[in-house]
């Protein structure tokens, strides 16, 4: 089962995008580099005024139709990155758009041959990409991890077995220093995995034992609790990203 018929999604960007500087106007590029922003904090840096009202006829900068998906946008400089899925065509994609115009800069098909089971209202493209200014890292439960340079050329790929979970995956990768970290919540053998962000080689893999009731949790990074992953909807487990050595565990 690969879910319900494809639902066409549109990426709609309001005046919030025109309120953000592009790389040429600032020494630091605009960056919303992963799901929920920098460090997963849900907080945008800076003091710019952003619109509180927008829609089809108000504060709309552009609108671009895309294949279906539940990915949030990741932003670096003047590019927006998304994952997408055409369920009817059984096609997974990573897409880059120009943030100023909404034009598609590039789109790359991901060579999945099998597809995970998902909820009827779910998507095969739920994970948000991570971007670090050199590469874009995308994850699909039906394929694994793949990295592209900012021009859309494949830098490396780390295929994984199709995720066996009742409602599909929702976790997203994060970049922590020189590592790309992913929480892969298989029902039987869940694990955290860290890959070298330049080569895609596995640096460490840490299996954990308590039951993963929700296969959509992603790692978060903090200065002291450097890598954590919610693992049973009621617990938080921490690991050091350089070694995977277990750290603090709360709840559960």
Report pLDDT for 7. 42
Q: What percent of the chain has pLDDT over 70?
A: 69
pTM of this structure: 0.78
Mean pLDDT of 159-182: 87
**Which residue spans within the chain are E strands per DSSP?**
9-14, 31-32, 60-66, 74-76, 79-86, 91-98, 104-110, 130-131, 135-140, 144-149, 154-159, 174-176, 179-184, 191-196, 202-207, 219-220, 227-230, 235-239, 246-251
Burial class of residue 22 in the structure, from the number of CB atoms within 10 Å of its CB (0-12 exposed, 13-18 middle, 19+ buried): middle
Q: What percent of the chain has pLDDT over 90?
A: 35
Helix or strand holding residue 15 (H, E):
helix 15-18
Q: What is the C-alpha to C-alpha distance for residues 82 and 93, in angstroms, rounded to an integer?
A: 8
Question: Cα 14 to the chain's mean position, in Å?
Answer: 21
Report pLDDT for 15. 42
Report pLDDT for 37. 78
Position 232 pLDDT exceeds 50: no
Those residues whose C-beta lies under 8 Å from the C-beta of residue 121, and which sit 6 or more positions away, are 4
Position 8 pLDDT exceeds 60: no
Q: Highest-confidence range of 17-21, 87-91, 121-125, 140-144, by mean pLDDT?
A: 140-144
Least confident stretch, 9-13, 31-35, 182-186: 9-13
Mean pLDDT of 189-198: 91
Q: What is the C-alpha to C-alpha distance for residues 67 and 82, in angstroms, rounded to an integer?
A: 10
Token output for 224: 């002291």
Q: CB 241: neighbour CB atoms within 10 A? A: 21
DSSP β-bridge partners for residue 143: none
Position 115 pLDDT exceeds 70: yes
Position 18 pLDDT exceeds 50: no
Position 3 pLDDT exceeds 60: no
How confident is residue 137, by pLDDT bands cut at 50, 70 and 90?
very high
Distances in Å between the alpha carbon of 79 and those of 20, 21, 88, 211? 12, 12, 28, 38
DSSP state of 58: B
């Amino acid at each position: 089962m690969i879910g319900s018929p494809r639902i066409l999604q549109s990426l709609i960007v309001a005046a919030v995008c025109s309120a953000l500087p592009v790389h040429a106007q600032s020494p630091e590029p605009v960056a919303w580099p992963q799901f929920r922003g920098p460090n997963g904090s849900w907080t945008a840096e800076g003091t710019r005024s952003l619109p509180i009202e927008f829609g089809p006829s108000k504060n709309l900068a552009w609108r671009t139709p895309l294949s279906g998906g539940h990915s949030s946008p990741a932003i670096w400089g003047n590019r927006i990155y998304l994952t997408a899925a055409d369920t009817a065509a059984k096609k997974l994609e990573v897409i880059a758009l120009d943030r100023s115009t909404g034009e598609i800069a590039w789109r790359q098909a991901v060579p999945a041959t099998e597809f995970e089971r998902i909820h009827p209202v779910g998507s095969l493209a739920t994970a948000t990409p991570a971007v670090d200014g050199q590469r874009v890292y995308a994850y699909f439960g039906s394929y694994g991890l793949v990295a592209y340079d900012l021009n859309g050329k494949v830098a490396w790929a780390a295929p994984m077995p199709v995720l066996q979970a009742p409602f599909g995956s929702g976790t997203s990768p994060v970049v922590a220093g020189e590592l790309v970290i992913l929480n892969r919540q298989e029902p039987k053998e869940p694990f955290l995995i860290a890959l070298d962000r330049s080569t895609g080689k596995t640096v460490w893999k840490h299996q954990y034992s308590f039951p993963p009731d929700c296969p959509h949790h992603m790692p978060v990074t903090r200065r002291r609790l450097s890598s954590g992953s919610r693992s049973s909807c009621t617990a938080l487990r921490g690991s050091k990203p350089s070694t995977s050595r277990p750290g603090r565990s709360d709840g559960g």
